[in-house]
Amino acid sequence: MRKAQLIQSVFMALLLVGVSAANGQESFRDRQIDARFAAADKNQDGKLTLEEAQQGMPKVAANFDKIDTQKRGYVTLDQIKAAADR
């Protein structure tokens, strides 16, 4: 089951990168964030918990409290991109 989830996450990350590259509107950095987020989001709910961030996006985990401005216990892709813009 774990291997299947990993394959699905990698596939989703590659799909996101491909879609982003096809529309040409996102920066290389944003495409990397998209791919890493998709791979780290183990349950594919569009949110990263601290645990998911620690496993797949350590820089996000290190700044989790700063990114989770609403203190919900998770961060979204948009929040991560906004933090990267700062």
Question: How many distinct helices (H) and strands (E) make up the chain?
Answer: 6, 2
> pLDDT of 47-79, one tens digit each?
999 999 999 999 999 999 999 999 999 999 999
d(CA 33, CA 4): 22
Kindly report the backbone phi and psi dihedral angles of residue 78, in degrees, each rounded to the nearest multiple of 5, phi listed first.
-60, -40
> CATH number of the domain that 10 lies in?
1.10.238
Structural domain containing residue 16: 2-85
pLDDT of residue 25: 73
> pLDDT of 9-38, one tens digit each?
666 666 655 554 555 677 999 999 999 999
d(CA 64, CA 8): 25
In sequence order, the 6+-apart residues with CB closer than 8 A to the CB of 13 are 34, 35, 36, 38, 39
- How many domains does the structure of the chain reveal? 1
